């Protein structure tokens, strides 16, 4: 089984270019199903999750060509062959549910196995389904010997006012895509405000949709009968940006991140500054400089955007282990996102947690150990811990990490990280 071997690396220094956003490109790819014309998405990262989405679209009759040399994916679904994606693909990735909305809008029916992904909480899709129903679809839950399925059917989709009980990113994206082709006007209240939502709205509007208000808590969509193909450049990955920012701070190094949008990682920048890290920002780059810094503790509370991102919680926990004083992290988004604590404690962290609150006392001299990447972001946090730990850290279950970070080892090594893959 493949694993990462990480050694203490000293201060990381150099320049990196941030890849296109995983969490933005997956809904863009799904949205290509809304038209029978070709869509081209540039800056698409070469990731396992992107491969799964390519396979999903191919499984419903789409033509997909991913050019890794240019990071460009071409998608065309002139003829849709199936009602939904094969269960073995849907089970691999949470974002597979995003195929459901475009299929429903385009064909009037969609069927998919309940999706998989990181085991960081229940992450139900009930908000997606309630929204489909509000737009006129009938939703049926089914089960066979192996999988639970959900099916949606609609003879006609009609615009409606939808209120989300929680500002779910996935539900907001799915309902935006369905509403684009519903008759009349739809509004999504308490919508997610993430940059990925804005990127999807921009993509849909290039296709001929009429979406307004993306990036606020109220999105208004006027349905249109047909959408066209388009070309689009995906936004930079803000979680990759934050991860490398944390890597510079943890190792007391200096990293310049190009193709990075400071406004997308504002909470991370502010918390780094609270800890005593120097952060310089410009229109298209960020420089994190922690050389010679004595970091101090701070408190974190994860919240939906524009709050501190839950996807940066584990990486920041590793950072706080190197800061002086007592820090507290409160996780409000997912109920099971402290699985990395046990792994960090194997490395000498001694983090205490109960429910959704963790207490970190620093600084701690971490020691290399054999640990497991329990999910995507936890895996990244363990790599960061290994960079600062004495001895050797072995990380298995690394397929989680490769789901979300493009050329991770290559980029880490480019700034001086002592990391390699074995197995």
54 is catalytic: no
Given 39, 118, 180, 275, the catalytic residue: 118
CA-CA distance, 422 to 409, in Å (whole number)? 12
Catalytic residue numbers read 118
């Amino acid at each position: 089984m493949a694993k990462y071997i990480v050694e203490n690396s000293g201060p990381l220094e150099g320049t990196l270019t941030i890849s296109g956003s995983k969490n933005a490109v997956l809904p863009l790819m799904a949205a290509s199903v809304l038209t029978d014309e070709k869509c081209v998405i540039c800056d698409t990262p070469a990731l396992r999750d992107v491969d799964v989405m390519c396979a999903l679209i191919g499984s419903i009759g789409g033509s997909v060509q991913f050019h890794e040399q240019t990071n460009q994916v071409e998608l065309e679904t002139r003829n849709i062959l199936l009602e939904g994606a094969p269960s073995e693909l849907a089970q691999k990735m949470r974002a597979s549910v995003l195929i459901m909305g475009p299929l429903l809008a385009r064909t009037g029916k969609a069927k998919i196995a309940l999706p998989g992904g990181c085991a960081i909480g229940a992450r139900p899709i009930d908000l997606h389904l309630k929204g489909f129903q509000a737009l006129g679809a009938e939703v049926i839950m089914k089960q066979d010997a192996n999988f639970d399925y959900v099916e949606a059917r609609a003879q006609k989709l009609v615009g409606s006012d939808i209120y989300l009980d929680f500002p779910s990113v996935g539900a907001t994206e799915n309902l935006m895509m369905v509403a684009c082709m519903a008759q009349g006007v739809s509004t999504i209240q308490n919508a997610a405000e993430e940059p990925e939502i804005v990127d999807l709205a921009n993509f849909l509007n290039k296709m001929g949709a009429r979406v307004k208000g993306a990036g606020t808590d109220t999105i208004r969509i006027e349905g249109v009968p047909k959408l066209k193909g388009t070309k689009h450049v995906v936004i930079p990955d803000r979680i990759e940006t934050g991860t490398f920012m944390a890597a510079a701070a943890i190792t007391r190094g200096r990293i310049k991140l190009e193709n990075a949008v400071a406004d997308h990682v504002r909470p991370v920048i502010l918390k780094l500054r609270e800890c005593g890290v120097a952060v310089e920002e410009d229109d298209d780059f960020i420089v994190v400089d922690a050389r010679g810094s004595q970091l101090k503790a701070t408190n974190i509370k994860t919240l939906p955007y524009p709050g501190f991102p839950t996807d940066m919680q584990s990486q920041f926990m590793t950072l706080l282990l190197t800061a002086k004083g007592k820090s507290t992290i409160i996780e409000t988004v997912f109920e099971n996102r402290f699985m990395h604590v046990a792994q960090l404690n194997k490395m000498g962290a001694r983090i205490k947690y109960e429910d959704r609150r963790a207490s970190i006392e620093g600084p701690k001299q971490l020691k290399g150990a054999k640990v497991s990447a329990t999910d995507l972001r936890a895996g990244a946090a363990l790599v960061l811990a290994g960079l600062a730990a004495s001895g050797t850290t072995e990380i298995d279950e690394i397929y989680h990490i490769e789901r979300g970070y493009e050329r991770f080892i290559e980029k880490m090594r480019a700034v001086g990280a002592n990391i390699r893959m074995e197995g």
